[in-house]
Amino acid sequence: MATSVSFPVPGPGPAPVVGTAGLSAPVQASLWSDAWRRLRRNRMALISAVYLVILVAVALVALVHTPYSYREVGVARPYSGPSWANWLGADILGRDVLSRLMVGAQISLIVGVGTQVFVVAVGVPIGLLAGYYKGTVDSVVSFIINVFYGIPDLLVAMILLLLLGPSLNNIIIAIVATRWMDMTRLVRGQTLALREREFIEAARSSGAKPAKILFGHILPNSLGPIIVQATFGVPAAILFEAFLSFLGIGVQPPTPSWGSMAADGLAAIRIAPHMVIAPSIALSLTLMAFNFLGDGLRDALDPRQKR
């Protein structure tokens, strides 16, 4: 605003800036480096990132090596507690808890990251289309989103698994089917806000095709919020899988999942508490790490909208 006397005048003002929206390409570069600088200052986010790197490393190592086979029965006395041979003790069948935990990390990461890949693949295009074309498309999409928000996701996923049969793929399908809305809603909102901005108007009036505008302009400018949303989506999906496996309708034995390990442990809570404590802590730490990282990313990518 230029000069002197100014006071609130009712009527349409400049549209509120949403997310990292509306920065042209050169500014974007500094945006990312700014974000990186802010993220590095966030101690909790940093610690979480380190933890997650270690977790991924453990999951990768488990592909080629675990202390024992996760399915080998009787490597130790059943229910025996932590020892030098079995750092986290053994379970009901005398299987090594640490080895099972490592394989469980694979499951959690596959489910967490895998669902978000599909959620992005489904949610982003639908959100872009709904936000860009508005009107009927948007009404239909918004209606469907609201219907899905109204249903108890876990219960529907349970029924889906009953229909599809339990397997890792079907678990991912069930989670994506019940949890695709957050991303779609976010991208739709971003698109709605961005499509009114000058640089999009400019692109439109210079004859750019919708596809070019959507994927060349709107998508890159929504990347920050999408990343944040996906980061929060990972722990939600991991938790979801743990719930399903805890109830016995997720990952099927002998494949270990942190959820099913916790369920096994709960049954033996009096005699072998380590069986339930180990997966519970692994799960909580992992969820926490993703949530702290998500918080950090959000604050870093959008410093104005604090918490």
Partner 1 sequence: MLNRGTLIYISQRLVLIVFTVFAVSSVVFLGIHRLPGDALFNEHLHGTQYQLLLHHYGLDRPLWDQYTSFLTGLFLHGNLGESLVNRGVPITPLVLRELTVSAEVGLFALLFTIGLGMLLGVVAAIRQNTWVDYLLSTTSVIGYSMPSFVIATFLLLFFAVWLDNFTQGTFYFQIGWTGRFGTIGEIWLPAFALGFPYASIVARLTRASMLEVIRQDYIRTARAKGLRETVIMARHALRNALIPVITILGPLVIGIITGGVIIENIFGIPGLGKEFANSILNRDYNIVIGVFTMYAAMVGLANLGVDLLYVVIDPRIRY
Partner 2 sequence: MPTPILQVKDLHTEFLTDGGVVKAVDGVSFDLYPGESIGIVGESGSGKSITALSILRLVPDPGRVVSGQVLFHDQDLLQLGGEEIREIRGRDIAMIFQDPQSSLNPVLRTGFQIDEAMLAHNKANRKQARQRTVELLRRVRIPAPETRVKDFPHQLSGGMRQRAMIAMGLANAPSILIADEPTTALDVTVQAQILELLADLNRDLGTAIVMITHNMGVVAGLCSRVLVMYAGEIVEQGPVEQIFEHPQHPYTWSLLRSIPRVDALRHERLRSIEGLAPDLLHPPAGCRFHPRCPFRVEKCFTDEPRLQEVAPDQLAACWVTMERARKEMGADDLIDIRPGAGSGLRKGELTE
Using the rule CB under 8 A, which residue among 15, 27, 149, 303 binds partner 1?
149
Contact track, partner 1, 245-284, x by CB under 8 A: -xxxx---------x--x--xx--xx--x--xx--x--xx
User: Is 109 in contact with 287 (CB distance < 8 Å)?
Assistant: no
Q: Distances in Å between the alpha carbon of 293 and those of 43, 73, 104, 120, 134?
A: 10, 37, 21, 18, 33
Cα–Cα distance measured from residue 272 to residue 262, given in angstroms and rounded to the nearest whole number: 12
Binding span for partner 2 by CB under 8 A among 7-15, 69-77, 122-130, 190-198:
7-15
- Check residue 152 for interaction with partner 1 (CB under 8 A): yes
26 binds partner 1 (CB under 8 A): no
User: Three-class SS of residue 90?
Assistant: strand
Binding part of the chain for partner 2, among 3-11, 58-66, 101-109, 177-185 by CB under 8 A, reads 3-11
**DSSP 8-state symbol, 252:** P
C-beta separation of 23 from 198 below 8 A: no
* The entry of partner 2, partner 1, none that residue 249 binds, CB within 5 to 8 Å by partner kind: partner 1
Residue 64 interacts with which of partner 2, partner 1, none, CB < 5 to 8 Å by class: none
CB-CB neighbours of 29 under 10 Å: 10
Which of 31, 39, 44, 58 touches partner 1 by CB under 8 A?
A: 44
CB of 178 to partner 1, least distance (A): 10
- To partner 2, the closest distance from the beta carbon of 9 in angstroms equals 6
Question: Which does residue 207 bind out of partner 2, partner 1, none, counting CB within 5 to 8 angstroms by kind?
Answer: none
Q: Which of 138, 153, 264, 299 is in the footprint of partner 1 by CB under 8 A? A: 153
CA–CA dist 162, 181 (Å, integer): 22
Question: CB of 258 within 8 A of CB of 244?
Answer: no
Q: Does residue 7 interact with partner 2 by CB under 8 A?
A: yes
Calculate the alpha carbon distances from 39 to 46, 110, 224, 233 in Å: 7, 25, 13, 19
Does residue 304 touch partner 2 according to CB under 8 A?
no
Q: Which is nearer to partner 1, 221 or 245 (CB)?
A: 245
Pair of tokens at residue 15: 């549209």
- Residue 125 is a binding residue for partner 1 (CB under 8 A): no
2 binds, among partner 2, partner 1, none (CB under 5 to 8 A by kind): partner 2
Size of the chain in residues:
307
Residue in this structure with the two tokens 């339930």, named with its chain if needed: 276
Q: Give contact residues for partner 2 (rule: CB under 8 A).
A: 1-9
